[in-house]
Structure 1
Amino acid sequence: MRVVAIKNPKSQAEKRVVHEMHRLRARVFRGRLAWNVRCTSGLEIDRFDKLSPTYILCLNRSDAVMGCARLLPAIDGTILEQVFPQLLETAHLPTHHRVIESSRFCVDTNSVAEREHAGLHSATLAMFAGIVEWSILNGYREIVTATDVRLERILRRAGWPLSRLGSPAQINETRSVAGLLPADWQSFDRLRPSIYSSNFAPQQKEAA
Structure 2
Amino acid sequence: MSSVIEFLVNDHNELPPNLATELYRLRRKTFRERLGWKVECTEGLEKDKFDNENTTYLLGMHGGHLLCGARFIDSTQPTMISEVFHDYFDDKISVPTDIPCCEVSRLFIDKERRFSATLHGLPASKMLFLAMIIYCMKKNYRGMYAVASRGMYALFRQANWNVEVIQKGLSEKREVIYYIFMPANMSIIEDIIGTDKASGWLRDMLHHLRHL
Q: Which residue of 1 aligns with 2:199?
A: none
Alignment of 1:102-113 (within 5 A): 102-113=104-115
Deviations 1:104-127 (A, max 9, x none): 1111122213366xxxx5221111
Residue 50 of structure 2 aligns to a residue in which SS? helix
Is contact 2:102–2:144 with CA below 8 Å preserved after alignment?
yes
Alignment of 1:57-68 (within 5 A): 57-60=59-62, 62-68=63-69
Q: Say yes or no: does 1:47 pair with 2:49.
A: yes
Letter in 1 for 2:7: V
Aligned residue among 16, 19, 44 for 2:18: 16
Supply the distance in 1 between the matched residues of 2:120 and 2:90 (Cα, whole angstroms). Answer: 36
Aligned residue among 28, 36, 39 for 2:38: 36
* Higher relative contact order, structure no. (Cα contacts within 8 Å, ≥ 6 residues apart): 1
Q: Say yes or no: does 1:198 pair with 2:209.
A: yes
Is contact 1:3–1:199 with CA below 8 Å preserved after alignment?
no
Q: Which residue of 2 aligns with 1:126?
A: 127
Percent identity between the aligned chains? 20
Q: Say yes or no: does 1:137 pair with 2:148.
A: no
Is contact 2:12–2:57 with CA below 8 Å preserved after alignment?
no
Is contact 1:87–1:165 with CA below 8 Å preserved after alignment?
no
Supply the distance in 2 between the matched residues of 1:191 and 1:143 (Cα, whole angstroms). Answer: 16
Distance 1:199 1:59, change over 3 A: farther
Distance 1:198 1:94, change over 3 A: closer
Q: Which residue of 2 aligns with 1:75?
A: 76
TM-score, reference length from structure 1: 0.83
Distance 1:170 1:30, change over 3 A: same
TM-score, reference length from structure 2: 0.82
RMSD: 2.2
Q: Which residue of 2 aligns with 1:159?
A: 160
Gaps of 5+ in 2: 194-201
Gaps of 5+ in 1: 202-208
Q: CA deviation at 1:170?
A: 3.1
Number of aligned residue pairs: give it: 194
Letter in 1 for 2:190: D
